[in-house]
Amino acid sequence: MRLLTLAAVLTASVAAPAFAEDLQFTLINNSSNDIIEMYLSPHEQNTWGENILSVPSVAAGAQGTISVTDGETVCDYDIKVVVTGGASGESTQNLCELSTFTVHD
């Protein structure tokens, strides 16, 4: 099984942390496969929730906005992305400061 590389990019447009109830970032799929599942979990939790994608998939080369409206009051989240073919990758990110999250092969 191939592993994905997940990268977070902070941009200058993020001047102040967002409130945990209103987190948003851009997901960029720079991999050669469609993203078919994405999971978020507060870092302190040991389980994944449901697939948060509101579309069947994010095509290779496409991007979209991810909104986190789980009502949590934390910033550190574990992120898991699954692409066609079953490859997956995981990363921990501060979503209060995250502007862009990029998936690579």
CATH architecture of 5-104: Sandwich (2.60)
pTM above 0.95, yes or no: no
What average pLDDT does the chain have? 86
pLDDT of residue 2: 53
Do 100 and 1 meet the contact criterion of CB atoms below 8 Å apart?
A: no
| Separation CA 70–CA 9 (nearest Å) | 22
H/E segment holding residue 24: strand 23-30
Longest dimension (CA), the chain: 39
Dist. CA 47–CA 45, nearest whole Å: 6
For the chain, the straight-line distance linking the first and the last C-alpha, in angstroms and rounded, comes to: 12
